[in-house]
Structure 1
Amino acid sequence: MKRDTSRNFSDWPITLFLALMSSPIIIMYFYLILDTFTNSPAGSLVPNEFTLEHWRFLWGEAEGVSGLWSATLNTFIFASVMATSILAISLTAGYAVSRLNLPFRAFLLGGMLTLHAFPTITLVIALFLVLQMVGLYDTLIGVILIKSALFLPFGIWIMKGFYDSVPWEIEMAGIQDGASRFTVWRRLVLPQIKPGIIALGVFAFLDGWNEYLMPQIFAPSSDVRVLSVLLAELIQDNEKFDFNLFKSIGLFYVIPVIILYLIFQNKLMNIYGGGTKG
């Protein structure tokens, strides 16, 4: 059987172009990793010794760095609780918007898009006053509630789209067999939108993991500090700023994101694989 090589040859220009465009980013990440394990003479790009000194914050206190593990725990709690609450509400609210004949449904959908597009920074003063009134200022739960509420319109809209891709016949078959609406939703509909659930959970977790502005404003105390705020505080130290230490902590900060992507990459690549058309 004769192989068609014309397509392979035609892909080479695109591959070469993408490689050239990506080379600055690749070089940047290469030196980011290299600098965290080596020392280089001043003004030189070539390292002269291998060292683990820049990772000393993992097993002991590093100068200028305090509370790193508590900040890591706070960041994990913040991102996990935020992702869990967004998934729980979006899965139920998205189903209701998709399947139920709600009054003012079009107005509700338009309102969700408007809320998602609304600039967050314009709400800072109002949110500050509300958190002060309810006693949740400078607490992790207060920041979680704010971020979850701001992310929910996007989550509900996304899940509504996935529910729309599931044919009615699947639910009707379950109801005719005597199953309740909740059982049909849990056992028949949710498996059809599994890629969407995973994608929304990953996006919500990463949004919480990377968040800086809300924790910085509404949870400034060191007891509830997250990693993004800790990194920002390191930059502000102009007198004893260890750039390689800063890059090591930044690499430590991004490792969970890389692990999460490697675990769910196949699901994320097939994000629109849910729903079986009847």
Structure 2
Amino acid sequence: MSRTAAVPGLRIWHLVAVLSAMSAPLVIMYAFQIIDSVASPAPGALWPTGFDLNNWRFLWESVDSGRPGIWQVTFNTFVFASVTSLSVCAFSLTAAYALSRLNFPARRFFLAGLIVLHAFPTITLIIAIFIILQYLGLYDTLAGVILVKAALELPFGIWIMKGFYDTVPWEIEMAGVQDGASRFRVWWSLVLPQVQPGLAALLIISFLSGWSEFVLPLVLAPGAGAQVLATYMNAVIASETTQDFGLFKAIGMFYTRPVIVIYLIFQKRLMNIYGGGTKG
């Protein structure tokens, strides 16, 4: 019995050792990023000689006079991610319900189109999107980038929410209709609570996707007024006057903190995206 019990434990330790060895380079790189963000090592030196907060000066002063401050850029990023996630969830809730519950013409065509649109690379559409935004007068505006990002995220959101709606039994809706409730009332009071896990996961994923977006703001909103944190970091490292890798690492740490906090708090809800709605 002791040998039999010891073998699974030994296998687990082997697995932990392999995974630790594979993860070690990534952990070391993050550790050095944290150390370099609060220290200034001498040129060519591996270890820093002292503690220094000069790399975090972007929190209380402007890095470049021609660039907005970090708090304005952070606000732009928050607005971009929040409005994008709310828009995706609002449209996905209604569109996914229609695809799941209503039998309308060309329904199969719409379902197939969702998969095709989700699989289509964003970069291949960038020229067409650029022309359309210029025509609408939304180029180099935060509203234009939000509109594009939400539209590109919608196929994924609709497909995910349809899967959750499909797991909700028809009997729940039929019982509500027989009791005299309207179709909207049934959806709002009976069906929507059943798909809340999927809605919460979609909201978080859409927010994180908007928070980390780089290509769309860089191409469609290059001006300083609509700058987000991803493009702000790119401008810092690409500038000939403010090129500072210590500053770049500190801004990177500032940029990733909200993502880490959100993941630590809502990681269980994020796992619900792989499940379905709650039957009952």
* TM-score (norm. length: structure 1): 0.93
Q: CA deviation at 1:206?
A: 1.3
Q: Percent identity?
A: 55
Aligned partners of 1:268 and 1:125: how far apart in 2? 33
| Within-5 A mapping of 1:209-248 | 209-238=211-240, 240-248=242-250
3-state SS of paired residue (1:39): coil
Contact 1:175 1:184 (8 Å CA) reproduced: yes
- Tell me which residue corresponds to 1:15: 16
Contact 1:195/1:272 (<8 A) preserved = no
1:111 and 2:149 matched: no
* 1:38 Cα deviation from its structure 2 partner: 1.4
Please, which runs of 5 or more residues in structure 1 have no aligned partner?
A: none
- Give the 5 Å matches for 1:11-160: 11-62=12-63, 66-67=67-68, 68-160=70-162
Q: Is the 8 A contact 2:63 2:242 kept in 1?
A: no
| In structure 1, C-alpha distance between the alignment counterparts of 2:263 and 2:254, rounded to whole Å | 15
Aligned-residue offset at 1:9: 3.1
Alpha-carbon distance in 2 for matches of 1:191, 1:45: 54
Moved more, 86-95 or 122-131: 122-131
Distance 1:35 1:43 in 2: 13
Equivalent residues, number: 277
Aligned residue in 2 for 1:262: 264
Deviations 1:210-239 (A, max 9, x none): 111111111111111111111111121245
Whether the 8 Å CA contact 1:37–1:52 is kept in 2: the answer is yes
**Separation in 1 of the partners of 2:267 and 2:127?**
39
- Further displaced range: 108-117 or 123-132: 123-132
Q: d(CA) in 2 for partners of 1:63 and 1:224?
A: 16
Unaligned residue ranges in structure 2 (runs of 5+): none
The 3-state SS of whatever aligns with 1:49 is: coil
Residues 65, 234 of structure 1: 8 Å contact kept = no
Aligned partners of 1:234 and 1:241 also within 8 Å:
yes
Question: What amino acid does structure 2 have at the position aligned with 1:53?
Answer: N
Moved more, 174-183 or 14-23: 174-183
Q: Is the contact made by 2:196 and 2:277 (CA closer than 8 Å) also made in structure 1?
A: no
Conserved 8 A contact 1:140-1:219:
yes
Report the Cα distance in structure 1 between the residues aligned to 2:66 and 2:51, rounded to whole angstroms.
22
Cα distance 1:33–1:140, how it changes in 2: closer, same or farther (>3 A)?
same
State the Cα distance separating 1:62 from its structure 2 match: 3.0
CA shift for structure 1 position 277: 4.1
Deviates more, 1:168-177 or 1:224-233: 168-177
Is 2:183 the counterpart of 1:177? no
Q: CA RMSD in A?
A: 2.0
Residues 194 and 274 of structure 1 are in contact (CA less than 8 Å); yes or no, is this contact kept in structure 2?
no
